[in-house]
Structure 1
């Protein structure tokens, strides 16, 4: 349970930095700040995964509420209209509670109105429950504001919108644009008043900081009006398509609260919060089965991201059957040397030359967690061998084994590094990237072990010998005694010794490429120059290109590859530290976890954002919620095992 008091809610600058996100298990979400002030175009109440669009669609952006009594009307919202805050609902906001659904409460003249939001798991729907307490009756207005756009688009006032509902009655059915899904609205016992008006000039300050479109107009087809008696609770429902018969929205909300709470049962410390956060990224795939989205709000179905996050999201949480199903689904898309990328209707590209290598590592993580050798032998071993043979023979994307045994790759428009697709400003990393070599070495040894277990001793010997050759060549090409760490990239012009965290893959994956003395030196450099309380910097602080913090509120956000701290990389760092220094290093890992835990009560509440500033105060950057960050912290905490007695890492109050 996380609580935000009036002292934060009434300070707009503080409240605007605390966000929440709910997922629907389909790739859709609801998200906002604790005050309901939208600071991103991705904030909204009903965003849905769209099979006909390449990105999620935000349908219901927000609702504007007002409470009237004794001849006075009190508007409850808070919107940024280009520096003008209107209405001023923050002045009567009393509390915010995440338990685990977000509830915002306003108090005015001895009257209290609470609004709880729930996305219904497995349904394209949102429920808003309003609970009223006061000495007498009050009138509630609920006005929906529609966006009806893809995630990165922005709506402007236009003449194409259908101003009138398609149908009214028990439900108000809207379809503001031809070809877009219909939206059914319901507020039982309320009267609908149609007017069809535009709200112009919303400004999203976080988008402005990131250089994204930050202005929008929203359309409202009308409003619901309802009289509230003291002690009553009513529910507003928005549902894509028709609302199913006999739907009890308050019961559905109660079921969703119980479902989320149960995800953290039988666990202690930080694990319950992380398990609940992890559940948001495991979704129903468009064609059925299970899939993993990379984060919110982007909700990308990337195979590469699924392979990296599967050990934490599924294996560390005991969701082994879902791990099997996801691995099988990804295996079906193996194409000899690579795994296809994105969703089923986006098979034209690939995530990068390392995707197939991540698949091999994911198989090894699955074996370690489940011990299910028969499943691997019967269902995964064949594709695994095909992947390794495909790399050795040369892939369609220009990857192939060099005479030295390293995996060479041509320039790619997609960054290959551990920072992934989010670091799109990062220059392409060509020829020999350090983490690709670490993945290649691990894939060869994992394949050799599986071949040996299958009685294929000759093939096992070939791959083990190739791995040994790759290791020797790697050390000659990448290691620098002068720097005390590894090159980030080696190509025909030389070696790039920019200090970045990619090289930790050479120490933290199941098979290390470095002898202990060299590994110790890399870890010491990483501790001094990359490690922060919120993750590892993407670039060392001593680099002249380093930008560790946003210049100030409203200032542009620097590219995330220029020094932002990435929380997911901390797990890799501590994997390597424990390998080199043994069980004693777990105490260092626990200290870091304890220091990081309060971040779940700041930024995006009860989950982990994509990145943070590299310098104090380490404000959140990038996406609202990152599958990698949650998965890797879960994997780390699970690896650490039972925590020292007397410690707690669960934030209870803000």
Structure 2
């Protein structure tokens, strides 16, 4: 863990997504704390194969009072220079990230940043809003040209050679640091001075805290100067690839005007839109920013909140139809790699979540009086999944003689509790996990009642087997039965997976007192203000803090760490056992929403984090912008009788 003292605003991060998997992101303080913080980060094969091109800037102003730095950099081991964060008088992310810097002489300068989803360009705009006299701004772009998971060190292969064009309508400067990476173009109203240099040993404290490599060198090709005493703003447009000269001011004005219209409306709606991206000729949802791509399980879970709950049936249909063609041996892929096109089929639940998402989409379409033409393709994909599971497929996934789904092989992690460190599978859950049975029985019921009555027989068998095998005499449900495929062996760990038997899926398996006992047990030991713990604090294996190196983090990931997305199924179950009266809805609004609403203003601004500590005060961790976390927050609002936004 780093000993560096956090700067004001360092733990609050903003995100500007480009709709193709690329993005700009950083902290309110301006200091980069992650290798993923960048101003221009693009996806060569959307939404994957991402490259960091422009990591940041060094910026300062010269006034009659002297030289003042606006940027903030942290160098190894913990040297802060310059200290622009001390001059941040205000920050807002509406309608796009905007900083107001106040200088010692009273001069105020705004710095705005927005990403255009149509072009994937990043626009920076500076303007003096108070003060008089000379005001010269200098900006040095800090470049890399590396894979977004990697780091750069100073090296002779980096090509600083600029191509400068179009001075009469604004400077267009292009660099191609590496021949196998995209070129970088800066279109500006400033004047360029070439002065190649390396800035050495930036340190990223979030990476340091995660036990990862955290020191990087960045290339500084030269500086751009702007006269902010002039009423027109200074502009810099960053673009991947070579660019012809353009009238920068006119282009920037169009970008700003278009973005202002596009960003009208609820901020939560725009946050939800950050996860929608193109993949090939179709659409998908990113699992999270900054380091995830699209994952099957996450996409199908998040889709219900990010799209269906807000009525975006068209995008939901495009995503589900696009994924329909990916079924292989009855399985949906759970992950597409960062590079390459071969998907990874390594999940027992992603395919079943697809069936749930299709059901919810068709139900929402029917409620909207819409008859989607895609239903035959969706039906075929769902039936292929159920037939594949019934017959048996990869990794021992099969319907057993009792009608329940058995899955798993040593060394694999097939459920959503999928942490693995080297050969250590932290929560293997081989056998018959409880939430897999809830998903399976729901999927069978959906198919039997909508498409194929032949699934009724196995559904009835599975329901009877579930009722006879999963109740724990000590209370609640077993987490896994037939552990390691040993008949009669069971895992009695109190985990949140049993909540799906009561809520979070279209058709509860249990109601009445049995359901209430499950909700009460989960509430007593697993519920926190930000979500459900993954293991009871009373369990000897419980880990209350999520942090440290990869082994420590993955060792805690599902051993007590809180997951906000699980709060959606819990609230659904809580309402199911209490009744959805007006009084219950108001109680739920007062109890469950304020902590999440407060969380929207910390960590990933306007978003919900991936995880939080199991122990109070439940500090957020993991990915700061997580799709299913935000999606379930939106679903919770709808469940509690409120508008989505």
TM-score by length of 1: 0.88
Per-residue deviation, residues 171-198 of structure 1 (Å, max 9, x unmatched): 110111121101110221x221112211
Structure 2 contact 546–561 (Cα < 8 Å) conserved: no
Which residue matches 1:353? 348
Q: Does the residue aligned with 2:198 lie in a helix, a strand or coil?
A: strand
Does residue 561 (structure 1) correspond to residue 558 (structure 2)? The answer is: yes
Which residue matches 1:316? 309
> How much has 1:580 moved relative to structure 2?
2.0
Determine which of 443, 446, 468 is the counterpart of 2:460. Answer: 468
Which residue matches 2:176? 175
Per-residue deviation, residues 221-242 of structure 1 (Å, max 9, x unmatched): 1111122215431211100124
Structure 1 residues 353 and 312, CA gap change in structure 2 (3 angstroms): same
> How much has 1:17 moved relative to structure 2?
1.2
Determine which of 309, 318, 329 is the counterpart of 2:322. Answer: 329
Determine which of 528, 531, 534 is the counterpart of 1:535. Answer: 531
Which residue matches 1:136? 133
Which residue matches 2:24? 30
Structure 1 residues 99 and 412, CA gap change in structure 2 (3 angstroms): farther
Does residue 152 (structure 1) correspond to residue 149 (structure 2)? The answer is: yes
Residues 426-437 of structure 1: pairs in structure 2 closer than 5 A: 426-437=426-437
Structure 1 contact 418–502 (Cα < 8 Å) conserved: no
> How much has 1:166 moved relative to structure 2?
4.2
Q: Does the residue aligned with 1:142 lie in a helix, a strand or coil?
A: strand
Does residue 110 (structure 1) correspond to residue 102 (structure 2)? The answer is: no
Does residue 338 (structure 1) correspond to residue 341 (structure 2)? The answer is: no
Partner Cα distance (1:551, 1:42) in 2: 18
Contiguous gaps of at least 5 residues in structure 1: 1-10, 265-271, 452-458, 644-648
Partner Cα distance (1:640, 1:373) in 2: 28
Structure 1 residues 423 and 229, CA gap change in structure 2 (3 angstroms): farther
Per-residue deviation, residues 3-36 of structure 1 (Å, max 9, x unmatched): xxxxxxxx95441111111111111111111011
> How much has 1:405 moved relative to structure 2?
0.7
Partner Cα distance (2:341, 2:415) in 1: 22
Equivalent residues, number: 615
Structure 1 residues 135 and 566, CA gap change in structure 2 (3 angstroms): same
Which residue matches 2:545? 549
Which residue matches 1:485? 477
Residues 609-648 of structure 1: pairs in structure 2 closer than 5 A: 609-642=609-642
Does residue 500 (structure 1) correspond to residue 503 (structure 2)? The answer is: no
Residues 192-591 of structure 1: pairs in structure 2 closer than 5 A: 192-229=192-229, 231-243=231-243, 245-246=246-247, 248-261=251-264, 264=265, 272-285=266-279, 287-343=280-336, 345-371=340-366, 372=370, 375=373, 377-411=375-409, 415-419=413-417, 426-451=426-451, 459-460=452-453, 462-488=454-480, 490-491=482-483, 492-493=485-486, 494-508=489-503, 509-549=505-545, 559-584=556-581, 585-591=584-590
Q: Does the residue aligned with 2:307 lie in a helix, a strand or coil?
A: helix
Residues 41-120 of structure 1: pairs in structure 2 closer than 5 A: 41-51=35-45, 55-70=49-64, 72-81=66-75, 82-108=77-103, 109-120=105-116
Structure 1 residues 422 and 42, CA gap change in structure 2 (3 angstroms): farther
Partner Cα distance (1:535, 1:489) in 2: 25
> How much has 1:625 moved relative to structure 2?
0.3
Partner Cα distance (1:373, 1:581) in 2: 34
Does residue 164 (structure 1) correspond to residue 154 (structure 2)? The answer is: no
Partner Cα distance (2:546, 2:435) in 1: 28
Q: Does the residue aligned with 1:411 lie in a helix, a strand or coil?
A: coil
Partner Cα distance (2:318, 2:552) in 1: 42
Structure 1 residues 377 and 408, CA gap change in structure 2 (3 angstroms): same
Per-residue deviation, residues 496-547 of structure 1 (Å, max 9, x unmatched): 2222212222222112222422211111111111111111112222222322
Q: Does the residue aligned with 1:444 lie in a helix, a strand or coil?
A: helix
Which residue matches 1:608? 608
Structure 1 residues 489 and 227, CA gap change in structure 2 (3 angstroms): farther
> How much has 1:96 moved relative to structure 2?
0.8
Which residue matches 1:7? none
Structure 1 contact 398–409 (Cα < 8 Å) conserved: yes
> How much has 1:429 moved relative to structure 2?
2.5
> How much has 1:257 moved relative to structure 2?
3.1
Determine which of 18, 34, 53 is the counterpart of 1:40. Answer: 34
Partner Cα distance (2:46, 2:287) in 1: 19
Contiguous gaps of at least 5 residues in structure 2: none
Determine which of 3, 11, 14 is the counterpart of 1:17. Answer: 11
> How much has 1:423 moved relative to structure 2?
9.9
Partner Cα distance (1:443, 1:463) in 2: 9
Structure 1 residues 391 and 444, CA gap change in structure 2 (3 angstroms): same
Structure 1 residues 612 and 423, CA gap change in structure 2 (3 angstroms): farther
Structure 1 contact 27–299 (Cα < 8 Å) conserved: no
Q: Which moved more, 1:44-53 or 1:152-161?
A: 44-53
Structure 1 contact 144–220 (Cα < 8 Å) conserved: yes
Partner Cα distance (1:364, 1:120) in 2: 34
Q: Does the residue aligned with 1:436 lie in a helix, a strand or coil?
A: helix
Structure 1 contact 336–383 (Cα < 8 Å) conserved: no
Q: CA RMSD in A?
A: 2.6
Structure 1 contact 68–140 (Cα < 8 Å) conserved: yes
Q: Does the residue aligned with 2:600 lie in a helix, a strand or coil?
A: helix
Partner Cα distance (1:126, 1:469) in 2: 57
Partner Cα distance (2:6, 2:258) in 1: 33
Partner Cα distance (1:562, 1:273) in 2: 34
Q: Does the residue aligned with 1:197 lie in a helix, a strand or coil?
A: strand
Partner Cα distance (1:117, 1:260) in 2: 14
Structure 1 residues 413 and 318, CA gap change in structure 2 (3 angstroms): farther
Structure 1 contact 367–376 (Cα < 8 Å) conserved: no
Which residue matches 1:267? none
> How much has 1:486 moved relative to structure 2?
3.0
